[in-house]
Amino acid sequence: MANREDSSTPLPAPAAPPAVPGAPPAAEIANPAALTVEQAARILTAVGGRWTTAETIRRHIQRGAPTASDGRINLVRYMAWLIREMSVGEE
């Protein structure tokens, strides 16, 4: 009896995840490692419970928030920068 490791039979494609009511189609989901300023503002507003504007993010970029060479934002790096900025003010 052959197991999957030595079988030449291809594995079936994984099933698509179930659709979440109200969620955008997969093609419209933003990459959190490469967001535009506007996408970052929308996401942060949606998850943070506070209104975040693109202008606020642009001011942060002028003050040194990290961006890629094309101006896109890695959400994890941006949040780490924000945390460091907040902790500098506490010292």
The single-letter code of the amino acid at 81 is: W
For residue 34, the number of C-alpha atoms closer than 13 Å in the C-beta half-sphere is: 4
CB neighbourhood size of 41 (10 A): 20
Give the model's pLDDT for residue 3: 53
pLDDT averaged per 10 residues, the chain (length 91): 58 67 65 95 88 95 96 96 86 57
Rounded to 5 degrees, what are φ and ψ at 63? Answer: -85, 0
Give the model's pLDDT for residue 70: 95
User: Whole-angstrom Cα distance, residue 90 to residue 88?
Assistant: 5
CB neighbourhood size of 40 (10 A): 24
Give the model's pLDDT for residue 11: 72
